[in-house]
Structure 1
Amino acid sequence: MKRKIAPISVFAGSVLMMLTACHHQSQEAEPALQDVSFVTVKTQPLTVHSTLPGRTSAYEVAEVRPQVNGVVLARYFNEGTDVKKGQPLFLINPAPYQATYDVNKAQLAHAEAQEKTAAAKLERYKALAPAQAISRQDYDDALATDRAAKADIAQAKANIELSAVNLGYTRVTAPITGRIGRVLTTVGALVTSGQSSNMAIVTRLDPIYVDVNLPTVDFLRLRRELKAGTLKRNGNDAEVSLILDDNSTYNQKGRLALSEVSADTQTSTIVVRAVFPNPEHLLLPGMFVYGRIEEGVDPNALLVPQESVFRNNHGDPMLYVVNKDDVIEARPIKTGEAIGTQWAVTSGLQKGERVLVSGLQKVNIGDKVHPTEASLTKDASPEKKGGKA
């Protein structure tokens, strides 16, 4: 009896060991799911901006040139100071123009005396002509003389006005209110009317223009989005902010004044001009700046963290999305501007989808994962400065 029981026990033990090994192999064949974090995409209002390079230009510029000939006798301003419209700047020798004015006044007095004599003679001939006490020729001559005397008076008055204008031009005044630059003509220099060189330049600095170049592609996109209602604009004038060359933000807001009616054929851009207050004269003409134009508000913008976006072999932006079965999917997208630490997504993503934000290097397309929702940081405000992806 004992000899029969032993083989059965050995056989049972072998079966048990085989089952145990199979159980261990089954456990090894089912690895734990990879832990990943995701954010759920939500829509939110987003103020859309375009940041474009540009340069400042003066609101008004007046080149001071002489309008009469003569020697400069005096200068009445200090270089680099503010001047008012009509303020005297230079004095050109007025002596010859004063003399011409006096001569013209004397000629006017002579013409008026001649006219009185001619008028009196004409009155006498009018009484004698009906009685034929004088010839018709004498009467006609008296009438012509009177009319000539009146014309001489008119010409003398015109000469006085012209000489007065030239005499006034000897006092060179500021044509506009602004800041005058360095002196280009010194006292003692001979100046001539119509000369090409300036005596000085007066520049109005407040307000000041900022001209930026808007690509025609962005111009067409803006028009389409406004027409479709994707962007909503408050008021007619878009607000413009300014970023200076040292990356500081100018403390005054500007407004769009105009856009050119034609595009530049060389650069495919449209010049857009903004007007900025410049009470402290911080901005000077010719400075390089960035104009940040407020295009409108997208009420249904989609934002994703920048760390969730990666590039494929072609350089196109991509996302990993966790589907409803907790399986990883790759999603090609198109990005807009960077808003703080987030990208604005313009296409390829829908509201409510789960975007992977951590563990991207540990998963592959088609992997099943263990997802956990992450919270967005608060440093990505829709009002922050951004650029294009």
Structure 2
Amino acid sequence: MLGAKSDGASAGAAGGGTPAGMQMPAPEVGFIVVHPTSAPIVEEVAGRTAASAVAEIRPQVGGIIEKRVFEEGSRVNAGDVLYRIDARSYQATLDAAKADLERYEASVPSAQAKFDRYQELANVNGVSKQDIDEARSALLQAKAAVASAASAVRTAEINLGYTEVKAPISGLIGRSSVTEGALVTAGQATALATIRQIDPIYVDLSASSTSMSRMRQAIERDGVTAGKEGPRVTLKLDDNTVYEEVGHIISTEANVDETTDTVTLRSSFANSKMLLLPGMYMRAAVEIGTEDNVFLLPQRAVTRTVTGQATAYFLTPDNKVEARVLNADRAYGFDWVVEKDVADGDRLIVEGVQKIRPGMEVKSSEVELGANGLVKPKAAAAAPANTTP
């Protein structure tokens, strides 16, 4: 019988079972110590870029296009000459107006002298009152003719200036709709070209009415600080990189679109490198404000059930596993933002989660998380310098 028992025990050990009186070693886990911090409240929305100013170039005088000065698709500055219209007829009109002005100006001195002479003769009854009135009228008419001629000169100068079609704003100019030699008319329906100002550039964001409600509720919550310049906006480009400039909301549409149930938020961005062009589709993150006294739990440490319930595992003072159900419905980077059910100094298990269950005793070591959310061993504290001689 004793031999049989010995053989049975040997067989059990050979089969890989745990020998009697021995326990499995405690699983090893890595943890981080969590502390309250601040986190931005962000709402994800979509939108499209739009020029901050658009100018359709139309001639203000008619004539033949002598020269197109700009390069299509180039950047132009306000005041740059874009087209030159044949100016000969406008120069002739200006010359004639100046000649008329000189002629009318020459008539004023004689009219003035005649009126002054009649005034002197009136003192000795040497001229009738009617003659004086006629002299006064002639003087006033001469001065009025001078004013009218001066106005004609200014008009002719303006029209001559309009033969140089200039850019009213700075921006990118598109293709020209006319060529040299084309006949254009003042105020014609077809624009010669279009300039779009894209620095700064607008991004019109479409936020659902539900998103707007969440934003308002977030701003009104205790512990939330709104930015002084209004909500900050960051953009994500097509290649998934984040646009280097940060924008701000500058206006909000006063009504909800009945078709799409959305509200348009207009944001403005610097665009000196011209990376953004009008019409581009964008994903944007609107930072409504900053919430204090929240905890950032790494997403790798939070598991979810099939119903979406979030659970994280913490260490008790006696190194046992404690499971907590959390309200983690807002993400920030690689973390979940949690407002309650976590305390300052709690030890959150971030490595080895798949090997544990609630109540299990574990062997733990503190680790660090990199900026990408990956675990790395916690760096040892530097030893104090030895000052002993």
TM-score tier by shorter-chain length is 0.7 to 0.9
Distance in 1, Cα, partners of 2:282 & 2:214: 24
Q: Which residue of 2 aligns with 1:44?
A: 36
Residue 335 of structure 1: how far off its partner (Å): 1.4
**Candidates 194, 202, 206, aligned match of 1:201:** 194
2: CA distance, partners of 1:229 / 1:185? 61
Residue in 2 that maps onto 1:56 = 49
> 2:55, 2:290 → 1: CA distance?
40
Can you list the C-alpha shifts for 1:33-72, whole angstroms capped at 9, x where unaligned?
A: 9979696873332432334322222233322210011111
Cα contact 2:204–2:267 (8 A) shared by 1? yes
**Are 2:310 and 1:318 equivalent residues in the alignment?**
yes
Question: Which residue of the partner structure matches residue 7 of structure 1?
Answer: none
2:379 corresponds in structure 1 to: none
1:262 and 2:245 matched: no
Change (3 A) 1:362 1:87: closer
Number of the residue aligned with 1:283: 276
Given that 2:294 and 2:340 are in contact with CA atoms closer than 8 Å, whether structure 1 keeps it comes out as: no
Match of 1:79 among 38, 48, 72: 72
Task: Say yes or no: does 1:97 pair with 2:114.
Answer: no
Aligned to 1:387: none
In the TM superposition, residue 263 of structure 1 has moved relative to its aligned partner by 4.2
Task: Give 5+ residue unaligned stretches, structure 1.
Answer: 1-30, 383-389
* Residues 167 and 83 of structure 1: CA distance in aligned 2, closer, same or farther (over 3 Å): same
Taking a change above 3 Å as real, the CA distance of residues 347 and 198 of structure 1, as seen in their structure-2 partners, is farther
Q: Which residue, 265, 268, 272 being the options, matches 1:271?
A: 265
* 2:325 counterpart residue number: 331
Q: In 2, Cα distance between the equivalents of 1:281 and 1:320?
A: 45
138-147 or 156-165: which moved more?
Answer: 138-147
- Please state how far the C-alpha of 1:186 moved relative to its aligned partner: 0.9
Q: C-alpha separation between the residues in 2 aligned to 1:57 and 1:64? A: 19
Letter in 2 for 1:317: Q
Alignment of structure 1 residues 26-45 onto 2, 5 Å: 42-45=34-37
Q: Equivalent residue of 1:232, what SS?
A: strand
Distance 1:307 1:133 in 2: 114
CA distance in 1, matches of 2:279, 2:286: 20
Task: Name the SS of the counterpart of 1:97 in structure 2.
Answer: helix
Structure 2 Cα separation of the partners of residues 323 and 121 of structure 1: 113
Shift of 1:167: 0.8
Distance 1:192 1:243, change over 3 A: same
User: Aligned partners of 2:85, 2:284: CA distance in 1, in Å?
Assistant: 44
1:337 maps to amino acid:
A
Distance 1:306 1:375, change over 3 A: farther
| Pairing 1:155-194 to 2, within 5 Å after superposition | 155-194=148-187
Match of 1:22 in 2: none
Match of 1:141 among 113, 121, 134: 134
| SS of residue paired to 2:369 | coil
Residue 335 of structure 1 contacts residue 343 of structure 1 at CA under 8 Å; is this kept in 2? yes
Residue type at the aligned position of 1:335: D
**Alpha-carbon distance between aligned partners in 2 of 1:282 and 1:359, rounded to the nearest angstrom:** 44
Give the Cα–Cα distance (whole angstroms) in 2 for the partners of residues 218 and 43 of structure 1: 29
Asked if the contact 2:32/2:368 (under 8 Å) is kept, the reply is no
- For residue 369 of structure 2, what is the aligned residue in structure 1? 378
**Change in 2 beyond 3 A, CA 1:283/1:193:** same
After superposition, the Cα gap between the structure-2 partners of 1:301 and 1:41, relative to the gap in structure 1 and judged at 3 Å, is: farther
The aligned amino acid for 2:248 is L
Distance 1:361 1:327, change over 3 A: closer
Task: Give SS of 2:147's match.
Answer: helix
Could you tell me which runs of 5 or more consecutive residues in structure 2 were left unpaired when the two chains were aligned: 1-22, 374-389
Letter in 2 for 1:319: T
SS of residue paired to 2:169: coil
Partner of 1:12: none
Match in the other structure for 2:285: 292
Query: Which amino acid is 1:170 matched to?
Result: T
CA distance in 2, matches of 1:297, 1:43: 16
Q: Secondary structure of 2:112's match?
A: helix
Q: CA-to-partner distance for each residue in 1:185-222, whole Å, 9 max, x for gaps?
A: 11111111111221122333333333333445445544
Matched, 1:127 2:123: no
* Structure exhibiting the larger radius of gyration computed from Cα positions: 1
- Partner SS state of residue 43, structure 1: coil
Change (3 A) 1:284 1:323: closer
CA contact (8 A) 1:72 1:190 kept: yes
> Structure 1 residues 36, 119: closer, same or farther in 2, change over 3 A?
same
Aligned 8 A contact 2:43 2:215 in 1 = no
Task: Please tell me the residue identity of whatever aligns with 1:64.
Answer: I
RMSD: 3.7
Question: How many angstroms does 1:286 deviate by?
Answer: 1.9
| Number of equivalenced pairs | 346
1:186 and 1:246 mapped to 2: Cα distance? 39
Question: After superposition, what is the alpha-carbon deviation per residue over 1:201-251, rounded to whole angstroms, capped at 9, x for unaligned?
Answer: 23333333333334454455445544544233565455543321121222x
